[in-house]
């Protein structure tokens, strides 16, 4: 369909074209998708046209909100990683059962309380507001939802970095504790080059020379 692809954000369009494998991009083709992975998007314009999505993966994006996701009425799983996301308000109208927001700049998760079908949430390596951590999460757990949280140590160090003007996330992997830079403000590929640093070493750097933490990423490339 002529001009159809103009409604799509470039990153969304790239994800769709990759999945189509050279086939024509038209509404009929998009209705056949049940899953989509979008990387490095700044907006989600057009994703609502992929109306039969059951799962959506957003990797290394920089989003003010999940605009257009509320049009995906069949969406069951949303997985967000290494991403800046301002709000999950768009999910309240959906029957999502699984939400992952790992290593994501998401502070307020209170809209998730309105997601009646929610059974599992993962927030590892994510900066959360005190209200979300102390009030919202207990409510989610009390409702029967399984919640995977950053450890107290991870959250403490994430908080200390932010107090020093360092907008990084900190999480444990199989190779050790790592730093990451969610979103696209500081890197074009936030999902890679996560330097390994122990909690003790990170704590020492925060006390003695917080500015030196930024240089760990150039050393990890």
Asked if pLDDT for residue 30 goes beyond 60, the answer is: yes
The residue that leads in pLDDT, 58 or 218, is 58
Q: Are 107 and 129 a contacting pair, CB within 8 Å?
A: yes
- Around Cβ 67, how many Cβ atoms within 10 Å? 17
Categorize the per-residue pLDDT at 31 as very low, low, confident or very high, splitting at 50, 70 and 90: confident
What is the pLDDT, as a whole number, of residue 205? 97
What is the pLDDT, as a whole number, of residue 209? 95
What is the pLDDT, as a whole number, of residue 3? 53
pLDDT digits (tens, 9 = 90+) for 120-164: 999 999 888 899 999 999 999 999 999 999 989 999 999 999 999
What is the pLDDT, as a whole number, of residue 79? 97
Categorize the per-residue pLDDT at 219 as very low, low, confident or very high, splitting at 50, 70 and 90: low
Averaged over 2-9, what is the pLDDT? Answer: 69
65: exposed, middle or buried (C-beta count within 10 Å: 0-12, 13-18, 19+)?
middle
Averaged over 36-46, what is the pLDDT? Answer: 95
The residue to which tokens 């009646």 are assigned: 116
- Round the average pLDDT of the chain to a whole number and report it: 91
* Token pair of 12 as six digits: 């969304």
CATH 3.80.10.10 is right for the domain spanning 4-220: yes
Categorize the per-residue pLDDT at 220 as very low, low, confident or very high, splitting at 50, 70 and 90: low
Which DSSP letter does residue 8 get? S
Using the Cα atoms of residue 68, residue 168, residue 200 and residue 152 in order, give the sign of their dihedral.
negative
Phi, psi torsion values for 37, nearest 5 degrees: -115, 120
Cα angle 129-102-47, degrees, rounded to a multiple of 5: 105
Cα angle 187-188-190, degrees, rounded to a multiple of 5: 65
Could you state, in order of their start, the residue ranges of all structural domains in the chain?
Answer: 4-220
pLDDT digits (tens, 9 = 90+) for 160-184: 999 999 999 999 999 999 999 999 9
State the maximum Cα–Cα separation within the chain, in Å, rounded to a whole number. 59
Averaged over 92-98, what is the pLDDT? Answer: 93
Phi, psi torsion values for 160, nearest 5 degrees: -65, -35
**10 sits in which H/E element:** helix 10-20
Q: What is the pTM of this model?
A: 0.92
pLDDT digits (tens, 9 = 90+) for 61-75: 999 888 889 999 999
What is the pLDDT, as a whole number, of residue 5? 62
């Amino acid at each position: 369909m002529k001009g159809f692809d103009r409604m799509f954000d470039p990153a969304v369009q790239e994800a769709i074209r990759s999945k189509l494998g050279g086939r024509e991009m038209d509404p009929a083709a998009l209705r056949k998708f049940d899953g989509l992975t979008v990387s490095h998007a700044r907006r989600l314009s057009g994703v609502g046209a992929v109306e039969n999505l059951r799962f959506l993966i957003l990797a290394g994006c920089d989003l003010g909100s999940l605009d257009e996701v509320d049009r995906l009425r069949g969406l069951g799983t949303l997985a967000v990683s290494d991403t800046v996301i301002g709000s999950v308000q768009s999910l309240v109208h959906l029957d999502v059962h699984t939400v992952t927001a790992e290593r994501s700049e998401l502070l307020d998760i209170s809209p998730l309380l309105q997601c009646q079908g929610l059974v599992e949430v993962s927030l590892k390596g994510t900066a959360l507001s005190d209200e979300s951590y102390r009030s919202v999460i207990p409510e989610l757990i009390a409702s029967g939802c399984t919640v995977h949280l950053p450890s107290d140590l991870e959250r403490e160090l994430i908080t200390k970095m932010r107090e020093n003007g360092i907008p990084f996330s900190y999480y444990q992997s199989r190779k050790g504790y790592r730093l990451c830079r969610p979103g696209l403000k500081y890197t074009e590929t936030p999902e890679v080059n996560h330097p390994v640093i122990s909690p003790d070493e990170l704590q020492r750097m925060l006390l003695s020379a917080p500015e030196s933490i930024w240089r760990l990423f150039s050393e990890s490339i």
